[in-house]
Chain A
Amino acid sequence: MWAERPRGNALCKECFFHAFEEEIHHTIVHAELFKRNETIAIGASGGKDSTVLAYVLKLLNDRHDYGVNLVLLSVDEGITGYRDDSLETVKRNQEQYGLPLKIISYEELYGWTMDAIVKQIGLKNNCTFCGVFRRQALDRGALMLKVDKIATGHNADDIAETVIMNVLRGDIGRLRRCTAITTGTDGALPRCKPFKYTYEKEIVMYAYFKKLDYFSTECIYSPNAYRGFARAYIKDVEKIRPSAIIDIIHSGESLSVKKDIRLPVQGVCERCGYISSNAVCKACVMLEGLNKGLPRLGIGKTHKERRKMQEMLQQETGAADSTPCTDQSLKSSCKCENKTDQSECSSQTYDSDNASGCSTYSKSQKCKDGCSSTNPRTVAKEKLSIFGKLKQPPSIDF
């Protein structure tokens, strides 16, 4: 067999395997992704990327003696006819590669399966829920397993797509972070992407020629996802010039942000203790919406959705305090949000509605300037339940 490599040289099967594996080894060594005796959770979906990642990491760990312990970590979103089948693949991988496996489900974490969420929300924005919930689920699962790091199968094509999506959304905060090979190093749980420079085409070729057992059905809920458009665009560009994928990543890495652009400050969610750039994280806003029968709460404009949540909470507690900046209740974020001049706030913020993860939202920061009472985040940090390990605000990349 001969494979035409995106970098422009043709190789026979054995040389292709070797080059593919050693390039990933080079990435791991060069970016210092692993340290001896660390436990690494591989985010495993049963799809091609994570299946190849598990296979290659096991192989390289043996070949180059990294001395790390590898475990498989899967998230069960509760999507009948999709995830249940792909988890069967992960279970086979567990046996084939001899790696321990932990499965964590949306149902046990949030009380909602994706099937149930789609019944509420429909097909248009369900990927936003799923993306926000999955990121947290993976972190929670990893904390339960007490691992040192999470490795995900994001490949070069995925990262290039993300760069393009963040440009289209004008999401400066994420644009800056999305090309990093390791994120969250100052927090509790770093994440790394050993396939950052690996083309999707080569991953698929590798899986095909190694006859790896992977699951390849498109998610039944994803046809309307925004990412699909970026994905098709990347593939069209690749057809014309294969190196465009790495070039887009390079462009993303080279961007610098002007000093006067205000970037989100990452703290922790006062409800669940998860990393958040807002007082209440996106997952909590979304869950609140689902549980209150207002599923769209989590997917509108960020400032609108948070105001709605605020109002709901006030009705609930009967403490509709209209005085600005009286942060007495832990449940509500800074009350003066209601009073803040919207146009003034939004002109200075980079609001990323609909994006996955807790979005940038600097209104509370604006409030904080004039807010002399206890910062809700300080209080929240003390009541971390799940993330009790965190001493200072981590910066896990959303």
Chain B
Amino acid sequence: MPLPICIEFGGGAELLFGKVKTHEVNLPDKEASWTIKDLLTWMKDNMLKERPELFIQGETVRPGILVLVNDADWELMGELAYNIQENDRIVFISTLHGG
């Protein structure tokens, strides 16, 4: 069964994803559960429009990009290992610009 989730971008991260801030997506069916680590790989292959190095570094997000899972800092949720649940809202906010 596909897994419906909501992905949002802010702080300029949306510029790498076709300038669209909110994306309702269905993650394809797979045997094991979806983790954020899997999600990042999937986003890189299916959603990222330009300059992937500004979003992904190695297997995680580029340092300086905040990740929130249902409005909680992902550092409290297990980061890459977090098991994504149905209808989760995952937000990526870039801090890497002038202020």
Report whether A48 and B11 are in contact in the complex, using a CB–CB cutoff of 8 Å. Answer: yes
Given A48-B99, A153-B99, A235-B96, 7 additional A-B pairs, CB 8 A: A2-B72, A4-B75, A47-B98, A155-B99, A201-B95, A203-B99, A238-B63
Taking a contact as CB atoms under 8 Å apart, the answer to whether B73 and A217 are in contact is no
Whether A216 contacts B97 in the complex (CB less than 8 A), given A1-B72, A2-B76, comes out as yes
Which residue of chain A lies nearest to B15 when distances are taken between CB atoms in the complex? A217
Interface band, chain A:
20 to 34
When the two chains form the complex, which single residue of A10, A13, A50, A200 contacts B95, counting CB atoms closer than 8 Å?
A200
Bound complex: CA of A216 vs CA of B94, how far in Å? 9
Q: Which residues of B contact A216 (CB under 8 A)?
A: 10-12, 94, 97
A298 to B12: give the CA distance in the assembly, Å.
32
- Asked if B64 is an interface residue, CB under 8 A from chain A, the answer is yes
Interface residues of B (CB under 8 A from A): 10-12, 15, 62-64, 66, 68, 71-73, 75-76, 91, 93-99
Separation of A239 and B91 alpha carbons in the complex (Å)? 18
Is chain A's interface secondary structure helix, strand, loop, or mixed overall? helix
CA distance A65 to B38 in the complex (A): 50
User: Could you say which residues of chain A place their CB within 8 Å of the CB of B68?
Assistant: 1, 208
12 residue pairs bridging A and B, Cβ less than 8 Å apart: A1-B71, A4-B76, A49-B99, A51-B99, A208-B10, A208-B91, A216-B97, A217-B15, A219-B97, A231-B64, A235-B62, A238-B63
Contact status A204-B73, CB under 8 Å: no
Q: Mark A215-234, 1 if CB is under 8 A from B, else 0.
A: 01111001000000001100
Which 4 pairs between the two chains have the least Cβ-Cβ distance? A49-B99, A47-B99, A1-B71, A235-B63
